[in-house]
Amino acid sequence: MKKRLSFAIVLLMPLVLSAQDNYHFAEGNSFSRQLFEIPATLLGAYIFVYFIISIIRLILDNRLKFKMIEKGVSDKVVEQILQPTRTDASGQALKWFLILAGIGVGLGIVSAIRPFGIHSIGIIAFCLALSFLAYFLYMKRSENK
């Protein structure tokens, strides 16, 4: 709960800190760039750190599996450890691909439709929601098989 509250506070920080009277959402020409830059920077940093941690986890899991094979652990135990990580890694890779593709499509549409405004956030959110829907349908379909 504390993490979510802290994350929400950080995301809303640009609105609180820039208390000027220059937000004219109807005109769409003076929408603050900080509302896009700060969350985008935080999201980029999160994705980068998550990527690095995932690579380190894969390397350490691989070392553990090789050591288990060297020590002579039974094939049944090694197989139980190997099985969940393969499906989980491919599911996670597909999820992140769909999320980043949804953000990319949303940003592409926003850059084609100018001026920037509050509708830009809606377009990006809609594309991101479509990518989550695609992932949900994929997972539901793969569970049925």
pTM of the model: 0.45
For the stretch 94-103, contacts whose Cβ atoms lie closer than 8 Å and that sit 24 or more positions apart, written own/partner, are 94/135, 94/138, 95/135, 96/47, 98/131, 98/132, 98/134, 98/135, 99/128, 99/131, 99/132, 99/135, 100/47, 101/131, 102/127, 102/128, 102/129, 102/130, 102/131, 102/132, 103/127, 103/128, 103/131
Q: Is the pLDDT of residue 75 over 80?
A: no
Instruction: Read off the pLDDT of each residue in 66-89 and give the average, rounded to a whole number.
Output: 73
- % residues pLDDT > 90 (the chain): 7
